[in-house]
Amino acid sequence: MAHIAITGVTKSFTGAQGSVVALQDIDLEIEQGEFVCLLGPSGCGKSTLLNAIAGFIPPTSGSITVNDRPITGPGPDRGVVFQEYAIFPWMTVARNISFGLEIQGMAAEEMRQRVDGLLGTLGLGEFRDRYPKELSGGMRQRVAIARLLAIDSPVMLMDEPFGALDALTRRTLQDELLRIWRASGKTILFVTHSIEESLYLADRIVVMTYRPGTIKRNQAVTMAHPRDPAGVEFNELKRELGRLVMEEQARHDRAEMMRE
């Protein structure tokens, strides 16, 4: 279990065009076992915030802690899944899943049992000896999720993990993720562009503004799972969140036009 506290976080980048403020004065708490989605258009700092929590980039100012411990870099308490299938093409499915456990020095029998369990949980049993090039995009993303679950990180950081998948595969993996979350009690931070995806998954949706990224709305979602995308409450919230996101998308589009 893990509690994440983000306090006064600002992140600036300096490049050929000068300094860009990607995040500004972000204050956010994510409770133990909570499923939170970061929602907003491109350029609002969603991935930047996730990467700062992962420890891949340091904030320019402010602090991020997990269970009151400051984040100073990547750590085993935080696992990450990206949209691109970040698995090793030269390893089989089973070896990809066991890789982190080998690094940790887990005993061979315990490792085999954990890998076998995850292969079964994620419907990968018949693919254990296949290589990534032999798998569909949905299966490769299942392997990436299994590898994250293998190391049993209390925090799962997911950066648009289903964005490249077709609609049917995406819904299947969304349901699988919800099942795993309910069973494990892990804390999940999930980046998405999709309003419907955020409403289908999250306890709470954090809508971010276009650059500099700030928090525009911190929206609790109290609908019980499984959620009906055709339901009245679902669509009322979808319209409201759509209005908020489209305001920021319009700001993004105006900024792009000015640069052209």
Q: What is the pLDDT of residues 235-257, one digit of tens each?
A: 999 999 999 999 999 988 888 78
Q: Domain for residue 143, yes or no?
A: no
Edge to edge, the sheet with strand 18-30 lists 18-30, 4-15, 61-66, 69-70
Q: What is the pLDDT of residues 165-184, one digit of tens each?
A: 888 888 988 998 999 899 99
Q: Domain for residue 30, yes or no?
A: yes
Token couple for 260: 């052209």
Q: Domain for residue 194, yes or no?
A: yes
Q: Domain for residue 156, yes or no?
A: no
What pLDDT is recorded for position 166?
A: 87
Query: 89: cis peptide before it, omega within 30°?
Result: no
Q: Domain for residue 245, yes or no?
A: yes
What is the rounded distance in angstroms from the CA atom of residue 179 to the CA atom of residue 116?
18
The three-class DSSP label of residue 135 is: coil
What is the rounded distance in angstroms from the CA atom of residue 100 to the CA atom of residue 95?
9
What pLDDT is recorded for position 30?
A: 97
Q: Domain for residue 174, yes or no?
A: no
Can you give the residue range of the structural domain that contains 16? 1-77+187-260
Per the structure, the count of domains in the chain is 1
Q: Which residue has the tokens 């209390």?
A: 154
Q: Domain for residue 225, yes or no?
A: yes
What pLDDT is recorded for position 165?
A: 84
Residues in the chain with pLDDT < 50? Answer: none
What pLDDT is recorded for position 206?
A: 98
What pLDDT is recorded for position 260?
A: 64
The three-class DSSP label of residue 127 is: helix
Residue 203 sits in a domain of what CATH number?
Answer: 3.40.50.300
The three-class DSSP label of residue 238 is: helix
What is the rounded distance in angstroms from the CA atom of residue 72 to the CA atom of residue 252?
32
Q: Domain for residue 116, yes or no?
A: no
